[in-house]
Structure 1
Amino acid sequence: MGKISLKDFHQECFELFLAAPTAHPSLEIISKPIWSTWANFWKAVDQNGLLEYAKQISDNNMPISQLELDDMWTVTYGDYQIDKRKFSNFPEMLKKLENEFGIKRLSAWVHPFVDADSEIGRNPELRNKLFVKNRDGDVPLVWWWDCPIKPADPSKPVGPTNPDKKEPCAYVLDVTNPETREWWYKQLEAMKAEGICTFKFDAGETNWLPHNYVLYDGAYPNSYGKHYAHFASRFGSAVENRYGSGTQQTNFFTRTIDRNSYWDKDGGLSTLIPWALQSSLHGYYWNLPDMIGGNGLNHNESNIRGEPPEEELYIRWTQANTLLLAMQFSYPPWHSKYGGEVLNIVKQSLAIRKKWMHYLIKNVRKSVEDKVPVIRPMWWASDDDEALTIDDQFMVGSDLVVAPVIKSGQKTRNVYLPEGNWRNGNNVSEVVIGPTTIKDYPSPLDVLPHFYRTDSDDSGNGSSSIFGSSTGLFSLIISIIISLYFLN
């Protein structure tokens, strides 16, 4: 038996044990970023704030696919009623979003938790029908991240002998129960009738379920995530979801769980590419990286509003996300904490993305046909030992290598290129022959290292990439003049 490449071995195993998507997600989300209220507003979002946010996006000429209304837009969790104290004229707000700022799609954050003191939570009949029960047939409360955390003894400081105590405050919907799913579907359809276009589904993991839980009809634990994802899919290809089990065939974006505004710690920038690659390799091709720059939280489980990341981290995060499948902003690049350089570099990154959009979408469609991921590890194109260990660069399709800087203070980086002829995306007159490793590639703050195959017919929006910059055009003109000189 001959030697088999790691890529081919992976694909053979993949066909045996996993599945690939049968359709692609909303191309609008791939083409333009999502803008979310979460990190920027936390729970303090209201009608005036949302309209001002939309105005800023418009005034700064930023592309947007949909505006995402995150935490605290309802009266209580589980009662699907728009909070009129915060959104006094929801229909008028939607009109302004579209007519004044060109924003046609408003999505909203939802989850399976129902507050104990909500109208639904206080209804014993619904409580017994809809929520997850334990082995005794009771419907226990659960703790989730919006429940209180208090010292075990409030009279003493928190410490090893007086740890934080998580206070359960909500019930959780049993989405393995068809009756629960239909009830929830009707609630969300009512929200769509109010003008909400689609939804961001949060949670869904079994760690949020009560101790000794028993699902409807004795369903096995992973069926919760499977039903949760399939339920989300009923709302179309512009949905965000963060969890599933055996649900690779769905056609929506599966969001990376919240990232923290760090460089190297758990959930920081250094985890962005490995997470995207893992998602791809497991068949979840439509990975939505979480918000650019992270959620700003100080990771202490207190769920207290944080601060935007430093400028360098925000810029490098944007660059790392530029050629992944989707972008999502919350902290805006014009935030008062930032200088003008941040906005300028973000716009440069968006220009790079726009240049490669034709190629991205072509590969998304091809991915469905061929059952191969769009975002790929370097070993997909090479079995070199070096390629097997790289977790800070990736390939988009077969023809584009992206190597963002993900370390603080770094101004150069090594770039591995597989076999082939590779044109420097930042200097189109330079061609590098692979396989090779470029040592200390110059990577100042405004540079995203990326290379593409010289024989690719998709670079630069489907036309020859030599026209992709003024430098490339100048090089072309000079080469023509020199050719004419020698021909004469």
Structure 2
Amino acid sequence: MTQNRLEIEILQDEFWWGGDIDDGVKMPFGMTAHTRDLINEGRGNQAVPLLISNKGRYIWSDKSIRFHFSGELLKVESENGDIVLSENNGNLRETFLAAANSHFPASGSVPDELFFTMPQYNLWIELQYEPTQEKTLAYAKNVLEQGMPPGVIMIDDNWMEDYGVWKFRKDRFPDPKGMTEELHALGFKVMLWTCPFISPDNAANFRYLEREGYLLKDEHGETAIRRWWNGYSAVLDCTNPSAVEWYEGELHKLMDDYGIDGFKFDAGDPQFYRKSDQSVVQMHPNEHCEAWAKIGLNYSLNEYRSCWKSAGLPLVQRLGDKSHSWKEDGLASLIPNGLAQGLLGYAFTCPDMIGGGQIADIENNPNYKLDQELFVRYAQCSALFPMMQFSTAPWRVLDEEHLAYCVNAAKLHENFGPMIKDLAHDAAQTGEPIIRHMAYVFPEGGYEQIKDQFMLGDQILVAPVIVKGARNRSIAFPKGRWQGDDGSIVQGPFSQTIEAPLSRLPWYRMI
């Protein structure tokens, strides 16, 4: 049935996931009060108008929703769209597949396979706003010298002349084609950071785009100037096919002239748009975010952080910037938020940069001190995600022992690469998550509230250590026979505390 308001009773032992990926640390919902307004609150990570239950029920809308769990009732409303309630779909896995097949079917395509088989190296935290050709090449060479595998390397913000002027800064990149060729020879593919913002201070470029009608307008019909983390900028109107054609032309020129392989599509967050904005196609701020995401479909090497209703598509979805912290703003968020990504249809997921990608932790912070143990546990937690991404150079900030543990994590990801790649291709056909909630694979086990371990596919149980100083951890083993990375055998169902020294990422294979 459909309506724009819905109120249902929460069933006994019913648990829910959905809405905003950043709320993964609070999922499953249903036990306590929780509210999320996806109509008026712009979100900085993935979101989708879907709620999914372990009792065979899901709720979907094609438009933005707000919802409230009171502990006994679930209330959902949409201002301008119908709400679908589907029931009797089976267990959590069956319910997810019913929702996916009906509302966000898998595209059949995957991002570039290198994302899954090798680590990524994003230069953001290491180089911040000062990337150069020399530093980029030095970073790549250091990766290989440390025995780490090559993979995708991403040159982040400020490689270009200005926002909207997508040309290499000659003072920083005197020979970008030569740099790219050298990186390719070392085994890397190369991505560049980009965004939908246009600097109004670059007069010639801004005047041209404004004259052509490629920029978003505010409620008064004037070019909208928005405050974002790097100042004030105009915004590309991604509902305008001609504006998108101009932008893609700039990207393809970088690919054709310099051999660039793909792009990190940053920003585009809903909070940078207004309901009153004027565009070629009138849209809700969430839908502007969705229009920005569609551009990435033309590039097999892509990355997004903020997305709306883009489940089932071959887009790399990184978790939002995390702190250098053990808490739920840092390491403790990776597993629950990553599981939420999968349960909401975002299969091609990447945790945040190892050690945390929140620049505010470092920038102008005299009290910042890197925790080597935390850095290692970040790397281990990421190793058996679909992707893992380094930024802060581990060889610069770690001693020999801790560096070795991070190198081992990178090699573990490489070793699992063929399996992860196969799971990615399966996700492209079925929509199923690559990393899966315990309750998704073992619906009768009562594992709905476990969010510090996960399944890689249906056969590999992964239980990272996410508590400072811990050298053991408790693992819930489902029914079956499990062989550990250390050779041990466990017969489930059984909960057992195992040893987990800093050198170890505990994982088990069903045999």
Q: What amino acid sits opposite 1:293 in the alignment?
A: G
2:338 is aligned, of 276, 299, 302, to 276
Query: Partner letter of residue 435 of structure 1?
Result: P
1:305 Cα shift?
Answer: 11
CA contact (8 A) 2:275 2:283 kept: no
Shift of the alpha carbon at 1:445? 0.6
> Alignment partner for residue 443 of structure 1, among 488, 492, 500?
500
Alpha-carbon RMSD across the aligned residues, in angstroms, is 2.4
Aligned residue in 2 for 1:56: 142
**Cα distance 1:54–1:6, how it changes in 2: closer, same or farther (>3 A)?**
closer
**Does 2:350 align with 1:288?**
yes
Asked whether the equivalents of residues 297 and 303 of structure 1 are also in contact (C-alpha less than 8 Å), the reply is: no
Q: Could you tell me which amino acid in structure 1 is paired with residue 498 of structure 2?
A: Y
1:140–1:210 contact (8 Å) kept in structure 2? no
1:298 deviates by: 3.6
Specify the code of the residue in structure 2 equivalent to 1:36: N
How far has the Cα of 1:332 moved from its partner? 1.8
**What does residue 179 of structure 2 align with?**
93
Q: Corresponding residue for 2:394?
A: 333
- 2:379 is the alignment partner of 1:318: yes
Please show how residues 325-364 of structure 1 align to structure 2 within 5 Å: 325-335=386-396, 337-364=397-424
How far is 1:104 from its partner? 4.4
Return the match for 2:189 from 72, 97, 105: 105
Q: Which amino acid aligns with 2:391?
A: S
Aligned to 2:509: 452
Change (3 A) 1:97 1:17: closer
Partner of 1:162: none
Equivalenced residues, count? 424
User: Which amino acid in structure 2 is aligned with residue 419 of structure 1?
Assistant: K
Cα offset, 1:4, TM superposition: 3.8
1:369 deviates by 3.1
Task: Tell whether 2:480 aligns with 1:396.
Answer: no
Whether the 8 Å contact between 2:209 and 2:215 is mirrored in structure 1 is no
For residue 254 of structure 2, give the secondary structure of its aligned residue in structure 1: helix
One-letter identity of the residue aligned with 1:340: E
Structure 2 unpaired stretches of 5+: 1-55, 57-87
Structure 1 equivalent of residue 470 of structure 2: 410
Distance 2:266 2:126 in 1: 18
1:209 counterpart residue number: 273
| 1:328 counterpart letter in structure 2 | Q
Post-superposition offset of 1:279: 1.1
Aligned partners of 2:235 and 2:489: how far apart in 1?
56
Higher mean Cα deviation, 43-52 or 2-11? 2-11
SS of 1:218's partner is coil
What amino acid is aligned across from residue 191 of structure 1 in structure 2?
L
Q: Where does residue 319 of structure 2 map in the other structure?
A: 256
Q: Shift of residue 380 of structure 1? A: 1.3
Matched-pair contact (CA < 8 Å) for 1:18–1:282: no
TM-score w.r.t. length of structure 2? 0.78
Structure 2 partner of 1:241: 304
Q: Alpha-carbon deviation of 1:191?
A: 1.4
Separation of aligned partners in 2, 1:265 and 1:174: 35
- The correspondence for 1:7, drawn from 93, 96, 99, is 93
Structure showing greater radius of gyration is 1
1:210-234 CA-to-partner distances (Å, cap 9, x unmatched) read 5732332323433312221111111
1:24-56, Cα deviation, whole Å (9 max, x unpaired): 221111111111110001012112211211221
CA distance 1:318–1:207, change in 2 (3 Å): same
Query: In structure 2, what is the equivalent of residue 136 of structure 1?
Result: 220
The DSSP-based 3-state class of the residue aligned with 1:176 is: coil
Cα offset for 1:338?
Answer: 1.6
Q: 1:51 to 1:143 in 2, by over 3 A?
A: same
Distance 2:112 2:171 in 1: 33
Q: What is the SS of the residue equivalent to 1:217? A: coil
Structure-2 separation of matches of 1:316 and 1:176: 42
Distance 2:289 2:90 in 1: 34
Counterpart Cα distance in 1 of 2:168 and 2:422: 39
Partner of 1:462: none
Q: Retained in 2: the 8 A contact 1:108–1:200?
A: yes
| 211, 214, 229: which one aligns with 2:293 | 229
Name the SS of the counterpart of 1:315 in structure 2: helix
Q: For 1:54 and 1:241, how far apart are their aligned partners in 2? A: 23
Structure 2 Cα separation of the partners of residues 130 and 10 of structure 1: 39
The answer to whether the 8 Å contact 1:215/1:221 transfers is no
Summarize the Cα distance change of 1:368–1:189 in structure 2 as closer, same or farther, 3 Å threshold: closer
Cα separation, 1, equivalents of 2:160 and 2:120: 21
Residues 49 and 433 of structure 1: is their aligned pair in 2 closer, same or farther, counting only changes over 3 Å?
Answer: same
Residues 127 and 139 of structure 1 are in contact (CA less than 8 Å); yes or no, is this contact kept in structure 2?
no
- TM-superposed deviation, 1:306: 9.7
Contact kept, 8 Å, 1:296 with 1:309, in 2: the verdict is no
Aligned to 1:67: 153
Q: Deviations over 1:278-305 (max 9, x none)?
A: 11111110012221111253459x7879
Cα–Cα, structure 1 residues 98 and 422, in superposed 2: closer, same or farther, change >3 Å?
Answer: same
Q: Is the 8 A contact 1:400 1:450 kept in 2?
A: yes
Query: Deviations for 1:413-439, whole angstroms, at most 9, x for unmatched residues?
Result: 11011111111122x2x221111111x
Shift of 1:125: 5.8
Q: 2:359 aligns with which of 293, 297, 301?
A: 297
What residue identity is the alignment partner of 2:301? A
2-structure distance, mates of 1:48, 1:396: 38
How far apart in 2 are the matches of 1:28 and 1:239? 12
**2 CA distance for matches of 1:131 and 1:286?**
31
Q: CA deviation at 1:81?
A: 1.6
Normalised to the residue count of structure 1, the TM-score between the two structures is 0.81
Seq. identity, %: 26
Q: C-alpha distance in 2, partners of 1:28/1:105?
A: 8
Structure with greater proportional strand content: 2
CA distance in 2, matches of 1:435, 1:120: 67
Cα distance in 1 between the residues matched to 2:293 and 2:206: 27
Give the 3 Å change call, closer, same or farther, for CA 360–171 of structure 1 in structure 2.
same
Rounded Cα–Cα distance in structure 2 between residues aligned with 1:331 and 1:259: 13
The alpha-carbon deviation at position 58 of structure 1 amounts to 2.1
**Contact 2:355 2:375 (8 Å CA) reproduced:** yes
Q: Quick one: which amino acid aligns to residue 26 of structure 1?
A: D
Residues 261, 297 of structure 1: 8 Å contact kept: no
Offset of 1:140 from its aligned partner? 2.5
Q: 1:182 aligns with which of 233, 242, 245?
A: 245
